[in-house]
Copies of this chain bind each other. A is one copy, B any other.
Amino acid sequence: MNKINVGVIGLGLRGSMLLKGVILPIDYVEVLGVCDLYEDRTKKGFDAVVEAKGNEPLCTSDYRDLLDMPEIDAIVITSAWESHIQIAVEAMNAGKYVGMEVGGAYSIEDCWKLVHAYEKTKMPCMLMENCCYGRNELMVLNMVKQGLFGDIVHCAGGYHHDLREEIAFGNENRHYRLRNYLNRNCENYPTHELGPIAKVLNINKGNRMLTLNSVASKAAGLEEYIKQKKPNDAELLNAKFLQGDIVTTIIKCAHGETITLTLDTTLPRSYSRGFCVRGTKGAYEEQTHSIFLDDVHNKYDFDWRQQWGNADKYIEQYEHPIWKEYIKEGIRGGHDGMDWLVFNAFFESVANKTQTPIDVYDAAAWMSISVLSEQSIAGGGATVYIPDFTNGKWLQPQKKTDSKYSL
């Protein structure tokens, strides 16, 4: 693989974890610059680069310093949600590949800016949706592509993750989630579930998302949590959170499929992405990690408990080629190995100067859901239209690529 040079912008929890656990261990990647608004974080990033690779990266609090370095090929954006698109657009304009961590958008205009920057510069912009490379998600995608579930009719997913501690007290209250939960009410983090679903439903490659309705429950979880856990935190104890605890979003697609998304981060529960794929011949459901194939499992109709976890038995036959090879090479990095795959997919594209497997249109469409859900919730569940960020390019089905990380 050709050697590539990278700059990393944003070194909070996520950025520093990725830098140390994923980016620096990749042999053909050099990190020439690190950037954060907080000096303590940049210092730690600098130390990590020196320790892993020996070179001394540029340290800065102004990301433009990294964009100005002609030797940098690609920018990794792991900063606060609100800054992603602005930095991505400037990075593309500076001729850099962009690997942008996930999050939702704040305006439709911003999503268009991403698209326009790409169309002007042809610099690929990849949304680093690691869950697109989840082992279960890829097994199911593989089964879908082989036709085992028939015609796909409905998908569901959620970000079911109890983040109360992180939102309220994480990072000494300088976590970007806190200000979002205090001031907004929307599906603020749609892509962990929507990314894999979009690949199942060929969104932007023969299909597209047409309309959306979002409804939010009241916001009760964080206030109760703060009352219980830090009754002496005067500032937070009086805080009123606007972000509803459960946000349910229904998306309708051009070919008639529906997608249900659930944001679920401020009530007690266990982690799940609630991935669910339903077709005319079969189904996968993450909650019970089970597969239902028509004419195979019907006898368990009223006793599905016997089949809980049965997807374990299918993994041998239907493991996605990406994961087959990955297991041979050895699973590495965080989040069950997904981070390693998504970053290798990005850096491979950078090294080979090819399109990324998740592209700028995916980024715009998936991130727009946050904005549109905010509008829908504000309108009492109103139907809102999802823009066609491809301007008709979605009518072309997906082209095969040579990338080993192709989705």
User: Known: A215-B213, A216-B258. Is A270-B307 also a contact (CB below 8 A)?
Assistant: yes
Structural contact, A213 and B250, CB atoms closer than 8 A: yes
Known: A154-B246, A216-B258. A278 touches B267 (CB 8 A): yes
Instruction: Check A326 for interface membership: any CB of B closer than 8 A.
Output: no
* Known A-B contacts A245-B153, A381-B250, A383-B379; A271 and B220 likewise in contact (beta carbons under 8 Å): no
Q: Please determine whether B289 and A256 come into contact, CB atoms closer than 8 angstroms.
A: no
Q: How far in angstroms is the closest Cβ of chain B from A31?
A: 29
Q: Looking at the complex, which one of B211, B264, B288 makes contact with A287 (CB distance below 8 Å)?
A: B288
Is A309 in the interface zone, CB < 8 Å from B? yes
Closest to A252 in B: B215
| This chain's copy number in the assembly | 2
B153:A218 contact, CB within 8 angstroms: yes
A218 touches B293 (CB 8 A): no
| Chain A stretch 378-407: residues in CB contact (< 8 A) with chain B | 379-383
- Assess A289 versus B305: contact at CB under 8 Å? Given A250-B248, A268-B294, A383-B380: yes
Residues from chain B with a CB closer than 8 A to the CB of A179 are none
Q: Is A280 an interface residue (CB 8 A)?
A: yes
Whether A245 and B383, one on each chain, are in contact in the complex, defined by CB atoms closer than 8 angstroms, is no
B246/A278 in contact, CB under 8 A: yes
* Contact, CB under 8 Å: A293 / B270: no
Contact A255 to B218, CB < 8 A, known contacts A260-B248, A292-B269, A302-B270: yes
Q: List residues 274-325 of chain A with CB under 8 A from any CB of chain B.
A: 278-283, 285, 287-289, 292-294, 297-298, 300-305, 307-309
Residues in B whose Cβ lies below 8 Å from that of A278 = 245-246, 264, 267, 269
Interface presence of A224 (CB below 8 A): yes
For A280, give its contact among B213, B224, B298, B381 (CB under 8 Å): B224
Residue of B nearest to A286 (CB): B287
Is the Cβ of A154 less than 8 Å from the Cβ of B302?
A: no
Given contacts A271-B304, A272-B304, A292-B270, contact A215 B281 (CB under 8 A): no
Which one of A224, A285, A379 has the greatest number of beta carbons of chain B within 10 Å? Answer: A224
A220 to B150, CA, bound (A): 10
Interface residues as binary, A117-142 with B (CB distance below 8 Å gives 1, 0 otherwise)? 00000000000000000000000000
Instruction: Look across to chain B and name the residue whose beta carbon is closest to the beta carbon of A293.
Output: B268
CA gap between A258 and B382 in the complex, in Å: 15
| Residue ID in chain B nearest A215 by CB atoms | B250
Q: Are B308 and A308 in contact (CB under 8 A)?
A: yes
Chain A 57-93: CB-based contact to B (< 8 A → 1; otherwise 0): 0000000000000000000000000000000000000
Asked if A217 meets B153 with Cβ closer than 8 Å, knowing A246-B278, A250-B248, the reply is yes
* Residue pair A224, B289 in contact (C-beta under 8 Å): no
Does chain B have a CB within 8 A of A170?
Answer: no
A257 shortest CB reach to chain B, Å: 6
Rounded to whole angstroms, the CA-CA distance of A90 and B304 in the bound complex is 42
Most buried by B among A217, A297, A302: A217
Q: How far is the CB of A272 from chain B (nearest CB, A)?
A: 7
Q: With A153-B218, A154-B267, A268-B294 given, can you name 16 additional A-B contacts, CB distance below 8 Å?
A: A153-B246, A162-B298, A211-B381, A213-B250, A217-B257, A220-B280, A245-B278, A246-B258, A248-B250, A250-B381, A268-B281, A269-B283, A270-B292, A379-B383, A382-B383, A383-B383
List 12 A-B residue pairs with CB atoms under 8 Å apart, sorted by A's residue number: A221-B280, A224-B280, A252-B380, A252-B381, A264-B278, A267-B279, A268-B283, A268-B298, A270-B292, A287-B288, A308-B308, A381-B383
The 3 closest A-B pairs by CB, nearest first: A218-B256, A270-B304, A268-B294
